[in-house]
Amino acid sequence: MTVIATVRDPQQLRRVFGSFPSGVAAVAALVAGEPVGIAASSFTSVSLDPPLVSVCIAHTSTTWPVLRTASRLGVSILSAGQEHAGRSLAGRMPDRFAAVPWRSTAHGAVVLDGARAWFETTVEQHVRAGDHDIVVLRVHDLDAQHDIGPLVYYASQFHRLEQGEQS
Ligand SMILES: Cc1cc2nc3c(=O)[nH]c(=O)nc-3n(C[C@H](O)[C@H](O)[C@H](O)COP(=O)(O)O)c2cc1C
């Protein structure tokens, strides 16, 4: 009985889920000519052939129904110095991109300047999973800056992994 109560406690779940360190991704695209995006720590790589990645998006997201209408989605992996972008893209400001430098690809995906890495993607599959959707994305283009470290999200806080890849 105690175990069931604990598992159903969202605060406790968040705390324990937060034991797993993750990166922070910005999923973004141009919609009606304006950049639209959200921060997502649920990014994960899925498949090499075909190249697939995924994010989990809460059913409560008000941005996702708009964002998913874009033909291509940019997924930027935030770098150690992009904590501000991580907060901004999760925040309530009307223009989340006001102080976040970005560029758009020819296909309308939005990627952040200075990101650790970026992918240009299309939505391949939505899998309903509890109060989130697992969104599987197919990668069409990508690049990374191997000499800068990523932003890390751990225990509900941002951390910097300053070091780039070891050579
Ligand atoms: C570090 C961080 C990671 C987040 N990761 C996710 C995520 O993986 N999935 C998700 O649905 N929301 C995530 N969020 C919340 C969204 O960025 C956003 O705040 C939420 O969708 C509410 O905004 P919206 O109504 O504009 O979508 C995260 C927020 C932060 C700060």
Residue 9 lies in a domain: no
pLDDT band at 165 (very low <50, low <70, confident <90, very high): low
Q: What's 133's domain CATH number?
A: 2.30.110.10
What pLDDT sits at residue 50?
Answer: 98
> Which atom of ligand 1 is found nearest the CA of 57?
11
How far is the centre of ligand 1, averaged over its atoms, from the C-alpha of 88 (Å)? 10
What pLDDT sits at residue 164?
Answer: 63
> Which atom of ligand 1 is found nearest the CA of 39?
17
* Boundaries of domain holding 78: 23-145
Q: Which amino acids bring their CB within 6 angstroms of ligand 1?
A: 24, 38-42, 55-58, 61-64, 86, 90, 153
Which residues have C-beta within 8 Å of that of residue 141, sequence separation ≥ 6? Answer: 105, 119, 120
pLDDT band at 134 (very low <50, low <70, confident <90, very high): very high
Total domains in the fold of the chain = 1
Least confident among 4-18, 29-43, 126-140: 4-18
Q: Are 121 and 136 in contact (CB under 8 A)?
A: no
